[in-house]
Amino acid sequence: MKIIICDKTENEYIEQMRAAGLTVDARDDITPEQLMVELPNYDGMVVRSRTKVRQPLIDACPNLKVIVRGGAGLDTIDHEYAKSKGIAVMNTPLANSASVAELTIGYMLMLARSLYQAVASIKTEKWDKKSFIGDEIGGKTLGLIGIGNIGRETAKRAIVMGMTVIAYDPYVKEADGITLVTLDELLAQSDYISLHLPKTAESTGMIGAEQFAKMKNGVRIVNCARGGIVDENALYDALTSGKVAGAALDVFAEEPPTDWKLMKLDNVIASPHIGASTKEAQARVGAEVAEKLIAFAKKS
C-alpha cells in the first residue's frame, strides 16, 4: 500500500509504517496544485489541518482507499462524500484531548487574572498592581458546549480547581460529575463558556447575537474547538458592549483571519490554532495514525 503524508508527522511513526511494509512518502510541503497531480498515484493519505481534502480532489483519485486525519475533527475533509466513494476516513480523536483541555484551562486563568494585560504592562516597565484585580475561577460555573473527549478532559481539570461544571450536548445522556442542561440553561448559568464540538452544518453560527443576549453579564468565552461556531461579528459586539467580559480564541472562521478586529480588542487573547501543538500530542497523533494505517493495510 502506497501512502502520502501531506502534513508534518514525526519520523519515528513514518518508519513504523515502513517497517510494517507500507510505502510511505513524506511530502509535508506539498501544495494543493501538486497534490491534485500526484495523489492519484497513492492508495492512502495522511493529513492534518493544513491540507484540505475536498470533492474535486477526491474525484481526481479513483485509486484512493483511505484518508487518515491526525486530529479530532473531520471538517477539513469532505468525509461523507469520500465514504460514498468507498474511501475509508479515520481520525485520531483521543490524541489531542489533554493538550486542548490544558490550553482551555490556561486561557480561563489568563482571562480571570488579566494575565496578558499584566504581562504587557510590566514589559513597558510599569508597576500597576491596582489595574489587575482579578477573579478566582474556583466557585464559578463552567458551561461546556460539547462533552466529548476534549470536553470531558476539560471538565476533569475544572472540577479539581473547584468549578461547577454543566454541559450541553444533545448526543450525550450522562457524564460523571457534570450536570447536563439545555443550551438556554447553560447560557443563563455559566460564568465561563467553553466550546468543544465539531463544526457541522448544525453547529455553524450556533452562538450568535440571540445566544449572547441570554448569557450573564460579564461572561467569559473560550473557543479552542473550531472557528465559525461562534459568529465573530456578534462576539465583537458583545465584547465591545461589555456583555462579554473577555474571550480567548484559538480558532477562527478564516485561518489565518482576513479581518483582525477581534484580536485588536483589549479583552481578547488569541493564538494561531495551537491547541494540539504540544510534543506529547504530536507523538500520540503520529502513533495513532501509524496504528490505524497499519491495521487498515492488513485488512485490505
Indicate if 289 and 217 belong to the same structural domain.
Answer: no
Instruction: Give the count of domains, the chain.
Output: 2
Indicate if 227 and 286 belong to the same structural domain.
Answer: no
DSSP state of 230: B
Whether 255 is catalytic: yes
Indicate if 141 and 250 belong to the same structural domain.
Answer: yes
Indicate if 149 and 241 belong to the same structural domain.
Answer: yes
CA-to-CA dists, residue 224 to 37, 167, 243, 252, 299, angstroms: 34, 16, 21, 9, 35
- Residue 176: what pLDDT? 87
pLDDT, tens digit, for every residue of 26-80?
998 999 999 999 999 999 999 988 899 999 999 999 999 999 998 877 888 999 9
Q: Residue 300 above 80 pLDDT?
A: no
Q: Which residues make beta-bridge pairs with 258? A: none
pLDDT, tens digit, for every residue of 135-185?
999 999 999 999 999 999 999 999 999 999 999 999 999 898 899 999 999
Indicate if 9 and 126 belong to the same structural domain.
Answer: no
State the amino acid at position 23 in one-letter form.
Answer: T
Whether 79 is catalytic: no
Instruction: Locate 255 and state its grid cell.
Output: 485561518
Q: Residue 94 above 90 pLDDT?
A: no
CA atoms of 134 and 48, how far apart (whole Å):
37
Contacts of 129 (CB under 8 A, 6+ apart): none
Indicate if 263 and 119 belong to the same structural domain.
Answer: yes
Indicate if 163 and 20 belong to the same structural domain.
Answer: no
CA atoms of 210 and 223, how far apart (whole Å):
18
**Strand (E) positions, the chain?**
2-5, 23-26, 44-47, 66-69, 88-91, 141-145, 164-168, 179-180, 192-195, 219-223, 244-249, 268-270
Neighbours of 3 (CB within 10 A): 24
Indicate if 110 and 222 belong to the same structural domain.
Answer: yes
Q: What is the CATH number of the domain that holds 216?
A: 3.40.50.720
Q: Out of 10, 50, 113, 273, pick the active-site residue.
A: 273
Indicate if 107 and 132 belong to the same structural domain.
Answer: yes
Please count the helices (runs of H) and the strands (runs of E) in the chain: 11, 12
Q: Residue 220 above 90 pLDDT?
A: yes
Rg (CA), the chain: 21
Q: Out of 196, 226, 232, 288, pick the active-site residue.
A: 226
Q: Which residues make beta-bridge pairs with 221? A: 193, 247
- Residue 76: what pLDDT? 87
Indicate if 158 and 248 belong to the same structural domain.
Answer: yes
Q: Residue 291 above 80 pLDDT?
A: yes
CA atoms of 256 and 140, how far apart (whole Å):
33
Indicate if 119 and 41 belong to the same structural domain.
Answer: no
Instruction: Sheet with 88-91: list strands edge to edge.
Output: 23-26, 2-5, 44-47, 66-69, 88-91
CB-CB contact of 53 with 82 (8 Å): yes
| End-to-end CA, the chain | 9
Q: Is the pTM of this model over 0.95?
A: no
Range of the domain at 78: 2-95+279-299
Indicate if 253 and 164 belong to the same structural domain.
Answer: yes
Q: Which residue, among 260, 196, 184, 253, has the nearest Cα to 222 in the 3D structure?
A: 196
Instruction: Locate 176 and state its grid cell.
Output: 460523571
- Residue 257: what pLDDT? 94
Whether 273 is catalytic: yes
- Residue 48: what pLDDT? 87
